[in-house]
Amino acid sequence: MTKTIVNSWNEWDPLRHVIVGRADDCHIPPEEPALDAKVPEDSDMRGQWGRRPQETIDRANELLDNFASLLTKRGIRVDRPTSIDHSKPVTTPDFHTDSQFGCMPPRDVLLTVGAEILEATMSYRCRWFEYLNYRPLLQRYWEEDPNFRHEAAPKPRLTDADYHPDYLSEKIGVAQRLKWAEEKHFVTTEEEPLFDAADVLRFGRDLVVQHGFTTNLKGIEWLRRHFPDHRVHTVNFPGDPYPIHIDATFTPLRPGLILNNPQRRLPDDQRKLFNDNDWEIVDAAQPAHNTPPPLCYSSTWLSMNVLVLDPKTVCVEASEVYQMEQMDKLGMEVVPVELRDAYAFGGGLHCCTADVYREGGCEDYFP
Ligand code: ARG
**Helix (H) and strand (E) counts for the chain?**
7, 19
Q: Render pLDDT for 75-93 as a digit per residue (tens, 0 to 9).
A: 999 999 999 999 999 999 9
Strand-pair category, 206-210 with 231-235: parallel
Q: Are 195 and 214 within 8 A, CB to CB?
A: yes
Which one of 124, 186, 242, 302 would you pick to mutate in the ligand 1 pocket, going by the greatest count of ligand atoms within 8 A of its CB?
A: 302
Element (H, E) at 69: helix 54-73
| CB contact at 8 A, 264 and 240 | yes
Q: What confidence tens digit (pLDDT) does each residue in 233-251 have?
A: 999 999 999 999 999 999 9
What's the pLDDT at 356? Answer: 98
**Maximum CA pair distance of the chain?**
60
Give the C-alpha separation, 352 to 345, whole Å.
9
Which three-class secondary structure state does DSSP give residue 111? strand
Single-letter amino acid code for the residue at 84: I
Collapsing DSSP states into helix, strand and coil, what is residue 132?
helix
Q: What is the pLDDT of residue 314?
A: 98
245 is catalytic: yes
Phi, psi for 138 (deg, rounded to 5): -65, -35
Residue 309 has pLDDT above 90, yes or no: yes
Exposure string of 109-142, with b = 16+ CB inside 10 Å and e = fewer, is bbbbbbbbbbbbbbbbbbbbbbbbbbeebbeebb
pLDDT tens, position by position, 320-363: 999 999 999 999 999 999 999 999 999 999 999 999 999 999 99
302 C-alpha vs ligand 1 centroid, how far in Å? 7
Mean pLDDT within 283-312: 96
Helix (H, G, I), strand (E, B) or coil at 41: coil
Q: Residue whose CA is closest, atom 1 of ligand 1? A: 244
Q: What's residue 36's pLDDT?
A: 77
Which CATH superfamily includes the segment(s) 15-235+340-358? L-arginine/glycine Amidinotransferase; Chain A (3.75.10.10)
The answer, yes or no, to whether any atom of ligand 1 lies below 6 A from the CB of 354, is no
> pLDDT (tens digit, 9 = 90+) per residue, 126-169?
999 999 999 999 999 999 999 999 999 999 999 999 999 999 87
Q: Residue 181 — very low, low, confident or very high, per pLDDT cuts 50/70/90?
A: very high
**ipTM (interface predicted TM):** 0.97
Query: What's residue 37's pLDDT?
Result: 78
Degrees to nearest 5, angle at CA 222 with 221 and 225? 85
Work out the end-to-end distance of the chain between its first and last CA atoms, rounded to an integer number of angstroms: 34
pLDDT of 42: 74
Residue to mutate (ligand 1; options 237, 305, 320, 340; most atoms within 8 A of CB): 305
Is the CB of 108 within 6 Å of ligand 1? yes
**Which pLDDT belongs to residue 22?**
98
**Average pLDDT taken over every residue of the chain:** 96
What value, to the nearest 5°, has the Cα angle with vertex 197 and ends 192 and 203?
120
Whole-number pLDDT of residue 1: 57
Instruction: Let me know if 26 is a catalytic residue.
Output: no
pLDDT in tens, 30-50: 988 877 777 777 777 777 889
Average pLDDT rounded to a whole number, residues 167-180: 89
Choosing from 196, 206, 310, 355, which is the catalytic residue?
Answer: 196
Range 53-59 average pLDDT: 97
Q: What is the dihedral of CA 329, 335, 340, 345, to 10 degrees?
A: -120
Give the model's pLDDT for residue 171: 82
> Is residue 182 scored above 70 in pLDDT?
yes
Whose Cα sits closest to atom 10 in ligand 1? Answer: 351
